[in-house]
Chain A
């Protein structure tokens, strides 16, 4: 009569245990590749894979560290702090591709003349000293800066370039965006919008990727050549993380993503394959 008596036959009636379930969590950037790879492996090899994107790269690291998932996805390097937080975990980063973070703007800003920014200008915006695009040679429109959620790989790459690290970045308060799609959605539908986003997601119709103007005035745009040659400063590696050497289903996944077919997925979603980096 108790709930337990009802639940036991219920659980027993469900499908008998499949092979180990592979649980993955992490960055929305890497997710595009891994989720599709997982679908393929599920269909072809009958693997049971669960993918989630709670908390972005930081979520992937912490859930892997807590042992709640076997594979993490990250679009940033592990920090010393991350390793210190989970001393018992042997984080293994498997490089699967490269991506660049761009500063993206909405159409009205791009058409209004802003095609690149310098680092000092970016800092001014981030710290609230410049609030209107007209001060930067653009249209007279309020700067609507959407800051990526803390913990997102995209954000960390941004502050690494702009300030030298997450700890050195000043604490600011802007409206937040979470995943890549949400960022693209918001920037595309708001006038004067600016945010950080994976360069490959800028479609050139509603969202445009700004170039970085160096001290010499030269503009470096986030093109594949500039990213591969490391001229564009905001590039970041895409990782699959495991605790120790990947084994079992995790190894199958890693091997697949590193294979030609997997790397094609990387390219398909706009990122750079490992071979493109040579």
Chain B
């Protein structure tokens, strides 16, 4: 009897795992299968024509990358500052906990709220219109908690003996930060940023009011009124409006490219994340 329930539980759990993994792998397979016909060199190098029915997604890809680079450059110093303050410069444990709580809470905030924030403050109040920079700021804010938390965890994992040894050698606090903490934390910054960027790459809601349009933009030339084309927004608009069969495989193709971008960013972070896991799983 007990053996039976043992077997049943194992089976049920196994089925669940199979179904869960199966659904997720399955949907990637569907996208790959439907998007494959659209993959060609010209798809990547041409721009959209005929409202998505012809041409390629070159500028969409460029625009997404521009936003991601901007987001990283804005987010990195802010995350570093926050992490250092939390680990090194804050004295009281309560303040630290409060800061961490704030970060965790903000991590769960829907991205559309960041988009509305960007719309109100930058598009309207600052009068910038739609701009790639606003997209960068908004995405940076939305990835900030992820990157900061990753950095803090990484800094926490640095064995205290390194810090103690450095202090014993007479290094000042600033020197300790630069000589000991930051070089080790660099990996955490990259890993956290890649994870944040992977998520940011697929975001539509924060950029649709602030940074992107459907057709006509190439490289931004200024800050004001300089939107970009992006992959997620392209897919979003066409998903609602596409009935034209010609658009069909190109739409899936764009989805596949976006998926590829997101997965690549996640996968680059993989080795260092595996290392952290191994260190933690001791």
Contact = CB atoms under 8 A, between A and B. Distances in A.
CB atoms of A and B under 8 A apart anywhere in the complex?
A: yes
B241 interface: yes
Q: On chain B, which size bracket covers the interface? A: 20 to 34
Contacts, number: 76
A181 B243 contact: yes
Interface string A34-56: 01101100100000111111000
B241 A23 contact: no
Interface residues of A, number: 38
Given A17-B221, A48-B216, A68-B129, A181 B77 contact: no
A97 interface: no
A4 B213 CA distance: 25
B219 interface: yes
B217 interface: yes
Nearest to A69: B129
A50 B213 contact: yes
B160 interface: no
B202 interface: no
A181 B74 CA distance: 38
B153 interface: no
A2 B74 CA distance: 9
A164 B150 CA distance: 60
Contacts of A18: 221
B241 A28 contact: yes
A35 B48 CA distance: 11
A3 B74 contact: yes
A3 B73 contact: yes
B223 interface: yes
A7 interface: yes
Contact of A32 (B51, B133, B216, B243): B51
B70 interface: yes
B243 A50 contact: no
Interface stretch (A8-16, A102-110, A240-248): A8-16
B243 A14 contact: no
A39 B49 contact: yes
Contacts of A7: 70, 73, 133
A2 B216 contact: no
Contacts of A11: 220, 222-223
Interface string A134-174: 00000000000000000000000000000000000000000
A266 to B, nearest CB: 16
Contacts of A50: 213, 215-217, 227
A49 B227 CA distance: 12
With most chain B CB atoms within 10 A of its CB, the pick from A2, A6, A48, A184 is A6
Interface in B194-246: 213-223, 225, 227, 237, 240-244
A38 B221 contact: no
B50 interface: yes
A233 interface: no
Contacts of A112: none
A205 B219 CA distance: 42
B73 A36 contact: no
Interface string B239-264: 01111100000000000000000000
Nearest to B208: A54
13 contacts: A2-B77, A11-B220, A15-B219, A15-B221, A16-B221, A28-B241, A32-B51, A35-B215, A38-B216, A51-B215, A52-B215, A53-B214, A181-B240
Interface of B: 49-51, 69-70, 73-74, 77, 129-130, 133, 213-223, 225, 227, 237, 240-244
Across the A-B interface, the 10 shortest Cβ-Cβ residue pairs: A181-B241, A50-B216, A52-B213, A182-B240, A185-B243, A14-B219, A6-B73, A15-B219, A17-B221, A179-B241
